[in-house]
Structure 1
Amino acid sequence: MPNDFNQQIIDEFRANNGAVGGYFEGGRLLLLTTTGARTGAPHTTPLGYLPDGGDRVLVIASAGGSPRHPAWYHNVLADPQVTVESGAFTYPARAAVLEGEERDQAFARAVDTDPGWAAYEEKAGRVLPVVALYELAQDGPPNIRASSFGEAIKVVHDGFRRELALIRKEMADGTALGAQLRVNCLTFCHGLHNHHTGEDLGMFPVLADRNPESAPVLARLREEHEQIAALVEELRAAVSSEADGGGGGGGDGPDGPDARAEIERLATELEAHLTYEEEQLIPLLEGV
Structure 2
Amino acid sequence: MKAFFQWLSATSWFPKVAPVVVPRMDRLVHRLTRGRLASDVVTPVLMLVTTGAKSGEQRSSPLACLPEQGGSMLVVGSNYGRPQHPSWTGNLLKTPEAAVSFRGATFPVLATLLEGEARAAAWPELLAMWPVYDHYTRVSGRELRVFRLTPTR
How far apart in 2 are the matches of 1:71 and 1:27?
21
More strand by share: 2
Residue 28 of structure 2 is matched in structure 1 by: 11
Give the superposition deviation at 1:53.
1.4
Give per-residue Cα distances to partners, 1:26-51, cap 9 Å, x unaligned: 42000001010011111100000011
Residue 41 of structure 1 is matched in structure 2 by: 57
Whether the 8 Å CA contact 2:36–2:102 is kept in 1: the answer is yes
Residue 87 of structure 1 is matched in structure 2 by: 103
Whether the 8 Å CA contact 1:30–1:84 is kept in 2: the answer is yes
Residue 67 of structure 2 is matched in structure 1 by: 51
Whether the 8 Å CA contact 1:28–1:49 is kept in 2: the answer is yes
Equivalent residue letter for 2:29: E
How far apart in 1 are the matches of 2:45 and 2:102?
7
Unaligned runs of 5+ in 2: 1-18
How far apart in 2 are the matches of 1:66 and 1:4?
13
Give the superposition deviation at 1:65.
0.6
The structure-2 alpha-carbon separation of the partners of 1:95 and 1:37, relative to structure 1 and needing over 3 Å to count, comes to same
Residue 104 (1) aligns with residue 139 (2): no
2:49 is paired with a residue of what secondary structure? strand
The structure-2 alpha-carbon separation of the partners of 1:4 and 1:64, relative to structure 1 and needing over 3 Å to count, comes to closer
Whether the 8 Å CA contact 2:43–2:129 is kept in 1: the answer is no
Considering only CA atoms, is the larger Rg found in Structure 1 or Structure 2?
Answer: 1
Q: 1:95-174 residue pairs with structure 2 within 5 A? A: 95-137=111-153
Whether the 8 Å CA contact 2:38–2:103 is kept in 1: the answer is no
Deviant stretches of 4+, over 3 Å:
none
How far apart in 1 are the matches of 2:60 and 2:52?
10
Whether the 8 Å CA contact 2:37–2:104 is kept in 1: the answer is no
How far apart in 2 are the matches of 1:106 and 1:44?
24
Unaligned runs of 5+ in 1: 138-288
The structure-2 alpha-carbon separation of the partners of 1:123 and 1:14, relative to structure 1 and needing over 3 Å to count, comes to same
1:54 is paired with a residue of what secondary structure? helix
Give per-residue Cα distances to partners, 1:38-86, cap 9 Å, x unaligned: 1111110000001121131100011011111100000001101101000
Give per-residue Cα distances to partners, 1:186-237, cap 9 Å, x unaligned: xxxxxxxxxxxxxxxxxxxxxxxxxxxxxxxxxxxxxxxxxxxxxxxxxxxx
Pairs aligned (count) = 133
TM-score (norm 2): 0.80
Q: 1:1-288 residue pairs with structure 2 within 5 A? A: 5=21, 6-16=23-33, 17-21=35-39, 25-137=41-153
How far apart in 1 are the matches of 2:28 and 2:99?
16
Give the superposition deviation at 1:19.
2.3
2:142 is paired with a residue of what secondary structure? coil
How far apart in 1 are the matches of 2:58 and 2:49?
6
Which structure has more relative contact order (CA 8 Å, sep 6+)? It is 2
Identity among equivalent positions (%) equals: 31
CA RMSD, aligned part only? 1.7
Equivalent residue letter for 2:63: L
